[in-house]
Structure 1
Amino acid sequence: MAFPGTIAVSSPDFGDRTRMPDRFTAEHEDVAPVIEVTGVPADAVELALICHDPDAPIPHGWTHWTLFGIPADATTIAADIGREGITTKGEAGYSGPLPPPGHGDHSYYFWVYALSRPVAGEPTREEFLRDYADAVIEQNRVVGLYSR
């Protein structure tokens, strides 16, 4: 597994390590930002995206979005391009940032994984990392920040 290799991840909605606009948060419009990807390895058969907040005050952090079945040639990733899985909230779909007030900046990692085999179903973040680690060809991320 090579990371980051040639794969690059960004967002037209926020810069890497900059504050995410309010519209992408749970207390506002709660819409998923657009994620852009370039440099996907030629041998990738599928992409997966996971948005995770490791700063959440629970043992494994908080998973805000899982998206599987993204075509390997996709350059723009939005909610309608794949199969949305279950978040830590227990629901499918995007669940925007909502850190505890006064908890400081939280980092929201939008990881994109280039895979050598397709993902079956809609695994949780933990299931994906356990069951597909051997299929990750490359990975990279863009990180948004948010605090209340």
Structure 2
Amino acid sequence: MTESKRAPLPHDFHPPVPSFTVVSEDLAAGSELGDGQLRAGGNHSPHLRWEGFPKETKSFAVTCFDPDAPTGSGFWHWVLFDLPASVTELPPGAGGGKFEGLPAGAVHARSDYGSKEFGGAAPPAGERHRYVFTVYALDAEKLGPDSEASPAVVGFNLRFHTLARGHLIGEYESPAQG
């Protein structure tokens, strides 16, 4: 997929808001996802830490979205919300398994894999895709939806409750077959 044909990011359709910093010990901006973040490599969500968000933040949401998926609507790999404002870091693997490192009350909605956890990258062979890890600073302690909500419903609620957001983009290309 050429740069000029790249799909927009999910928050390109939301009102502009201030940004803040999101970093990871597992992923540098624009770098290749690690083996652990792949569907075939264990579906381990990366470490994420954020700072510089508004002081009036009441909770956070974290998503991972592949805008380059050949679906016409992208692909949601992770939808997590109702993280307390005191939580500014998630350890590696917090998005799955025993959910170690997630605070009580955090809610996973289902991903486009159909599971309520982080699902790793698995683009079609020979395609390079972007994986947009976004942290949203929200104006409410509870976003509203429950764990049965679709990513679209969560996104609708994020549109109206986001004070600021930051993101980190990694990439991955599945080896070409043949």
Length-normalised TM-score, structure 1: 0.92
Which has the higher mean CA deviation after the structures are superposed, 40-49 or 75-84? 75-84
Using the TM superposition, give the Cα deviation of residue 3 of structure 1 relative to its aligned residue in structure 2, in angstroms.
2.7
- What is the alpha-carbon distance in structure 2 between the residues aligned to residue 30 and residue 63 of structure 1? 13
Unaligned residue ranges in structure 1 (runs of 5+)? none
Give the alignment partner of residue 102 of structure 1, picking from 104, 116, 126. Answer: 126
Using the TM superposition, give the Cα deviation of residue 29 of structure 1 relative to its aligned residue in structure 2, in angstroms.
1.9
1:132 and 2:158 matched: yes
Larger Rg: 2
- What is the alpha-carbon distance in structure 2 between the residues aligned to residue 65 and residue 30 of structure 1? 10
Task: Give the corresponding residue for 2:73.
Answer: 60
Using the TM superposition, give the Cα deviation of residue 65 of structure 1 relative to its aligned residue in structure 2, in angstroms.
0.4
- What is the alpha-carbon distance in structure 2 between the residues aligned to residue 144 and residue 124 of structure 1? 24
Length-normalised TM-score, structure 2: 0.77
Question: Between Structure 1 and Structure 2, how many residues are aligned?
Answer: 145
Q: Aligned AA for 2:110?
A: I
**Superposed counterparts of 1:21-36, under 5 Å:** 21-36=34-49
Which has the higher mean CA deviation after the structures are superposed, 83-92 or 51-60? 83-92
Q: Does structure 1 conserve the Cα–Cα contact (< 8 Å) formed by 2:143 and 2:161? A: no
User: Counterpart of 1:134 in 2: which secondary structure?
Assistant: helix
Q: Does structure 2 conserve the Cα–Cα contact (< 8 Å) formed by 1:47 and 1:113? A: yes
- What is the alpha-carbon distance in structure 2 between the residues aligned to residue 23 and residue 132 of structure 1? 28
- What is the alpha-carbon distance in structure 2 between the residues aligned to residue 32 and residue 90 of structure 1? 16
1:11 and 2:61 matched: no
Q: Aligned AA for 1:98?
A: A
Aligned residues: CA RMSD: 1.3
Q: Does structure 1 conserve the Cα–Cα contact (< 8 Å) formed by 2:137 and 2:165? A: yes
| Deviation sequence 1:87-111 (CA, Å, 0-9, x none) | 01111101000000111x2100001
- What is the alpha-carbon distance in structure 2 between the residues aligned to residue 10 and residue 91 of structure 1? 25
Say which structure is richer in strand.
1
Q: Does structure 2 conserve the Cα–Cα contact (< 8 Å) formed by 1:31 and 1:94? A: yes
Task: Give the corresponding residue for 1:85.
Answer: 109
User: Counterpart of 1:110 in 2: which secondary structure?
Assistant: strand
1:144 and 2:159 matched: no
- What is the alpha-carbon distance in structure 2 between the residues aligned to residue 109 and residue 128 of structure 1? 16
More relative contact order, 1 or 2 (CA 8 Å, 6+ apart): 1
User: Counterpart of 1:27 in 2: which secondary structure?
Assistant: helix
User: Counterpart of 1:18 in 2: which secondary structure?
Assistant: coil
- What is the alpha-carbon distance in structure 2 between the residues aligned to residue 142 and residue 8 of structure 1? 9
| Deviation sequence 1:119-148 (CA, Å, 0-9, x none) | 122333211221231210001100111111
